[in-house]
Each structure stands twice: as C-alpha cells, then as structure tokens.
Structure 1
Amino acid sequence: MAPKFVIVLKHSHTSRVSICKHYAEEAGLMGKKRVVLQYRPGGYCSSVVLDFRSKNMRLNKKGFRLDFAQGWRDFRVATGMRYYRAYSFEFIPSKGLIEVMEV
C-alpha cells in the first residue's frame, strides 16, 4: 500500500501543510527540496517546495517538521480545495508524485 495521510483543511493550512515524519520517510521525501502534487479529479499538477525546519525553529512534539510550503497556496486555490473538507495525500511511486483528493 502506498504511503498516505489525511487532513481536514483548516485556515491554518492557508500557506503551508505539515507532513508527519512517518509519511515523509515512507514516501522518500527526506532530503528532497520539491515534490509534485497532482489533484484528482482533473489531474492539475504543481511543484511545491518542501520546507524542513531546523532544530532551532518551532517544531512539533517529536522534534520534526516538514511542510508543503511555497507553491502550496497556489495549488490549493487552483484546485478549489475548500476549508473543513478532508483531503488525502497519497504518494504514487510509479509516477513519483503525491496525488491529492477529497475524501
């Protein structure tokens, strides 16, 4: 099964979304600078910057923070993603991208 996580889109996700460490490791995102997100349905694709926070910055409880950052806001707006709806982020190894869809 491909790595996947689900969020309920909130206003705190306007310009970035945090990715859990387990998902980042399984999807091979550690050390990467960018990732391609593809929205389903429709197939809209966009490259998004991955922002890894260093130890001296605000981190989550486990001392790790990796975010979809620059490009996330444009992707969210272009695809019409709506607040308070649930979205899944599934890594598709054969395509080398993360497929995003409402659940």
Structure 2
Amino acid sequence: MTSILYLSDWVDPEKRVKQDEYQFILVNFNHLLYKNNLPIDEPFILSTQADHVWYVPDPLQPKWKVVVMMTPRDYFDVYSRFKVEPYSNQRLDDRVPTSDDDVG
C-alpha cells in the first residue's frame, strides 16, 4: 500500500486565519507553525485531506492572502439528474427588420 503525504506550511487558525465581511477566508503566512522541525511536529497531511487552493494578495491588507478554492480541470458531475446542453440553440436570421411606415 502506498500513501502520498504532503509537507505543508501551517498557520495558527485562531490568530492567522480570518473571514472578512464578504465571507472570504484570509490567511497570514508571516508566523508559521511547525517551523522548528521538532520530532513532535507533524506538518504532513494525507493527499485525501488536501484541497487545491491558491492565494491572492489582499490589496487592502498586504500581509494577508485571500484563499481561492480550485475546481479540478475536467471535473464533471456524473451523477447529475438533469441533462444540460453546453450551449443553447439559437436560430439567427440574416434579415434586418424594416418598416415602411412614416414616422411623424
């Protein structure tokens, strides 16, 4: 059996993670946990525990990053009950509507 582990940077969730008024999660990476590499530190997680995210700098608070969740490429909801067309069919006419009535 093979297990994949990720070495991660950890922040204190009580002091370095917050949610703004727009419900975005912000993280401050200036003070990391497990930075001393002690034997009791466990900076690893299993691949099944990980989410794919990326961080965008917050323009109003330079020390904070906004967490953005990624959707895996080619991810499909195979259990969907409704069939949705990738685009709606439209019939376009080359004719431009005109009127011979006198205005005014």
TM-score interval for Structure 1 and Structure 2 normalised by the shorter chain: under 0.3
Higher strand share: 1
Higher helix share: 1
